[in-house]
Amino acid sequence: MARSDGRSAASAKGIQFVSNRLVDQIVDGRKTASVVRLGEVDEHEDEHNHALVVGDYYGVYDSACLRRCTIRVVAMELCRWDAIPERLWRGETNDDARGFRDDHEDYFDHPSNDYEFVAYYFELVSE
């Protein structure tokens, strides 16, 4: 698949998810959003975890570092713990904001209401 900048989706960067269940949701087309801590959005951690950039393509890796699909990041937004946007909790496959907070409370280490983080939204490009 060609990108508008001439590079192919096959040369994508990578994102590794902590749960194979999350990767399955992406492959099935149900999960279209995820989150990252504010200070980590621009960090290149390793070959399977690159900084997030809107418009870029990312190979999605499971817990065994197997590439399962390719996504394209289409948007990012700054969010607060006490004001979870509907498109985020729906994209995370939750039924409501409370479900999102229940699923992410440990990930964000029991945040306060004014805690800020980055939501990123993506589309499935290929399986």
Residue 4 lies in a domain: no
Would residue 1 count as lying in a domain? no
Tell me which DSSP letter residue 95 carries. S
Is 75 part of any domain?
Answer: yes
- 44 domain residue, yes or no: yes
Question: Does 3 reside within a domain?
Answer: no
Residue 2, pLDDT score? 42
Q: Can you give the pLDDT at residue 46?
A: 62
Q: What is the pLDDT of residue 65?
A: 87
The tokens for 103 are 């699923």
**pLDDT score at 82:** 97
Question: Which residues constitute the domain of residue 85?
Answer: 9-126
- Consecutive 10-residue averages of pLDDT for the chain (127 residues): 47 81 95 94 68 91 91 97 98 98 96 97 91
Q: How many domains does the chain have?
A: 1
pTM over 0.85: yes
CATH number of the domain within which 38 lies:
3.10.400.10
Q: How far apart are CA 111 and CA 55, in angstroms?
A: 29
In a domain, 109, yes or no: yes
In 3D space, the residue among 7, 12, 14 whose CA is nearest the CA of residue 50 turns out to be 14
- Specify if 67 maps to a domain: yes
Asked if residues 119 and 35 have their Cβ atoms less than 8 Å apart, the reply is: yes
Domain membership flag for residue 2: no
